[in-house]
Structure 1
Amino acid sequence: MVPEEESMNMDDIDEESPDPEDRWYKDDLEDRPFDLCPTIPVSKEEFEDWCKLWRNALIIKFLGKRVGLAFLEQRLQRDWVKKGMIHVIDMDCDYFLIHFSDEEDYSHALLEGPWMIAGHYLIVQRWRPFFLKSEHHVRKIAVWVRIPNLPIELYNYRFLWRIGSAIGHMLKIDRNTSIHSRGRFARICVEIDLAKKLVPRISVLGSELNIE
């Protein structure tokens, strides 16, 4: 569950004591000129502190289908939860925010896709601030990328991580790739930005390798 802030007992409030939030508003409201869009002060430190709660959260959306909150939570509890708990929040524009209490469950949901529920794929992406205010909501998604015909001498953890970092935000190397048990292609999980062009190939030591 998402931790709740400590509740405030109204009986404990001293109406004679100054409100700490009043430091932002030194002038009386009656003396202030009307502002059609007042700026609400939030410091960088405050905002970063408020964001900490959502670091282990994902934003998801169904492709071509609308589902109810109860149905989705039941299915995700079955497919994603191994150790901790999840809290599903219904958002605007048919998005859902999934908060994880356990980091391993979070990584499992983010990295082990693609996921399908009721015959429809889920778009899964990491939470980021002001998500619904973005011009393009579905912008960054985690995808598995293949590098076919990778020379065996390049099946190296550091080299594969460099590939991922060159084409997006590197997340994970497939375990079968990392232990050399798969000789036909290497597979890495990368978060890519859909607003940018996708990298079709890489160059290493004078040779070009395709990316799928």
Structure 2
Amino acid sequence: MGDSVTIDLEEGSSESIDNSHLCLVGKVLASKILNRSAISKIIQSAWKTREEIAVLPWPDNVFLFRFSNLEDRLKVLREAPWSIMGNLLVLQPLKMGCSVSEMDFSFCSFWVQVHGLPMDRLTRRNSQIIAESLGQLIGVEAPHDGLLLHRSFLRIRVKLDISKPIHRGFMMKRKDPNTLNITEKWVDFKYEKLSDFCYDCCRIRHDNKSCKFTRREAGRNSGYGPHLRTGVAPKLNLPVDFIQKQIDEMEARI
């Protein structure tokens, strides 16, 4: 019959202390196995936490990050995504009762800038509509309802399915301001802190050399490229903690 024995194990005991609220689990989407020493040095330099972080290697470029305080953990989540040697680091909370092989690293939150919208379309509601077409809405950079004219673009926090191609933008229908005819206008997406990705198929998990989704000839005309990247937008003088509180509450549930 083989080793088909069922064993009922304890979920916890006096020997174990649940420190999961101080931990994050991260997977580096790299083609080669990275060592803990290199990861630890990069992390300590990039995250700039108040206290030291323990970095524990697990299989297949998965690492456990154990923090000393909640503030450091929240800061790291808030400022995600992060890259390691150009490769995306996908973070998620440590979930008790879940094995490493059961963890899903297919989703990651990004700040997405929406460029090219007419001024009358720079609204909170349009931010929500656009975000929902991309993935799960996490937060909208907006101090109040009405026109969001504090920037020339919308800025939205979206949880993306990174197993799929990221979007370059979309066609928006509008009345031509000169002729009043219905026309279409292209609107660009730009992703803050976007790591290396494939210019052929626009997936984050690999580069052009190892693309299995698009023929090389088609990839050359894909329209994808470094223009999808952009720097982090400067902070605005908005009501204290309004945006950050929104993000913290939403991402704590991811």
Q: Structure 1-normalised TM-score?
A: 0.56
Could you say which residue in structure 2 is the equivalent of 1:188? 156
Q: Is the 8 A contact 1:202 1:211 kept in 2?
A: no
What secondary structure does 1:72 align onto? helix
Could you say which residue in structure 2 is the equivalent of 1:132? 100
**Which whole-Å CA distance do the structure 2 matches of 1:90 and 1:115 have between them?**
17
> After superposition, what is the alpha-carbon deviation per residue over 1:176-199, rounded to whole angstroms, capped at 9, x for unaligned?
9x974430x322232222356767
The structure with the larger Rg is: 1
Could you say which residue in structure 2 is the equivalent of 1:6? none
Q: Which amino acid aligns with 1:187?
A: R
> After superposition, what is the alpha-carbon deviation per residue over 1:2-58, rounded to whole angstroms, capped at 9, x for unaligned?
xxxxxxxxxxxxxxxxxxxxxxxxxxxxxxxx9723142667x99xxx877247514
Find the partner of 1:67 among 15, 27, 34.
34
What secondary structure does 2:6 align onto? coil
Uncovered stretches (5+) of structure 2, i.e. residues with no partner: 176-183, 190-254
Q: Which amino acid aligns with 2:72?
A: D
Could you say which residue in structure 2 is the equivalent of 1:16? none
The alpha carbon displacement at 1:59 in A equals: 1.0
Q: Which amino acid aligns with 2:162?
A: L
The alpha carbon displacement at 1:73 in A equals: 1.6
**Which whole-Å CA distance do the structure 2 matches of 1:194 and 1:62 have between them?**
11
Q: Structure 2-normalised TM-score?
A: 0.48
What secondary structure does 1:89 align onto? strand
After superposition, the Cα gap between the structure-2 partners of 1:109 and 1:60, relative to the gap in structure 1 and judged at 3 Å, is: farther
Find the partner of 1:146 among 113, 116, 123.
113
More helix by share: 1
Find the partner of 2:8 among 24, 27, 40.
40
What secondary structure does 2:112 align onto? strand
After superposition, the Cα gap between the structure-2 partners of 1:63 and 1:181, relative to the gap in structure 1 and judged at 3 Å, is: farther
Q: Is the 8 A contact 1:65 1:120 kept in 2?
A: no
Provide the identity percentage. 19
Aligned pairs, how many? 171
After superposition, the Cα gap between the structure-2 partners of 1:162 and 1:106, relative to the gap in structure 1 and judged at 3 Å, is: farther
Uncovered stretches (5+) of structure 1, i.e. residues with no partner: 1-33
Could you say which residue in structure 2 is the equivalent of 1:21? none
Instruction: Give the 5 Å matches for 1:1-212.
Output: 36-40=4-8, 53-54=20-21, 56-117=23-84, 119-127=85-93, 129=95, 130=98, 132-134=100-102, 137-157=104-124, 160-161=127-128, 163-165=130-132, 167-173=134-140, 180-183=149-152, 185-195=153-163, 201=170, 210=187, 212=189
**Which whole-Å CA distance do the structure 2 matches of 1:94 and 1:125 have between them?**
12
**Which whole-Å CA distance do the structure 2 matches of 1:204 and 1:102 have between them?**
49
CA RMSD of aligned residues (A): 4.4
The alpha carbon displacement at 1:91 in A equals: 0.6
After superposition, the Cα gap between the structure-2 partners of 1:109 and 1:61, relative to the gap in structure 1 and judged at 3 Å, is: same
Q: Is the 8 A contact 1:111 1:142 kept in 2?
A: no
